[in-house]
Amino acid sequence: MNFILEGFKKGIILIGDKEVLNILELSLFVSIFALFISVVIGVPIGGIVALKRMPFKKIIIAIINTGMGLPPVVVGLFVMLFLTRNGPLGFLEWLYTPKAMILAQVIIATPVITGLSLSAVQSVDPNVYRQILALGATELQAFFLLLKEIKLSILAAIIAGFGSIISEVGAVMIVGGNIKDQTRVLTTGIVSETQKGNFDVAIALGLILLMMSFIINLALTFIQQQKR
């Protein structure tokens, strides 16, 4: 028990360490940028699939729902294969860089946001969308008005998307390489320091990860509830 308490004491002290703060900064940059891209892609696709008549619509929805449960390590593996020197995207030279980590997280979060946005749009009475169009709005204007009506559900989708990537470790470790001062984020740092027996540093990173997740989710929740 003393071993655990001592680790927490050292961990709290190390929260202000420069290296730990650099890891926090990279973690925030990668996850928030990936989340932004996922929202820009996922919300419109979810709305289009929900509103439009298209062939094989049920199969498309099934694919999106399957994507919501993609194993992160599998995503990391395929992204690495595409970005490796002999891969189709090797010319980008993104492997073992934050760009590769962002790409992997976008692939993980986008199906989550798309699927939840799709369900949110489908929960609205179809006549509402038709009435908006009948009043002279363009399809784009009608879509944004519809999003305004379901903004609480869209924010819930964003929160879920953020949760799917902020605690992810497998994909970012595979494509980022967990390189110190370059691609090490909170989750991969926890794994690395635990393996080396530096439990105080691992605890510090773990506490920061928990606090960061709570603060960002709290902010999103406040925005969501104020919209009510």
Q: What is the pLDDT of residues 59-105, one digit of tens each?
A: 999 999 999 988 999 999 999 999 999 899 999 999 999 999 999 99
Retrieve residue 174's tokens: 């595979």
Set out the domains of the chain in order of their start, with CATH numbers. Answer: 2-226 (1.10.3720.10)
Which of the pair, 221 or 56, is modelled with greater confidence?
A: 56
pTM for this model (two decimals) = 0.88
Spatial distance between the Cα atoms of 160 and 112, rounded to a whole number of angstroms:
7
Query: Which range has highest mean pLDDT (9-13, 84-88, 110-114, 177-181)?
Result: 110-114
Q: Within 13 Å of residue 104, how many CA atoms lie on the same side as its CB?
A: 34
Q: Which residue's structure tokens are 């993104």?
A: 94
Which residue, chain included where needed, has tokens 């506490």?
Answer: 207
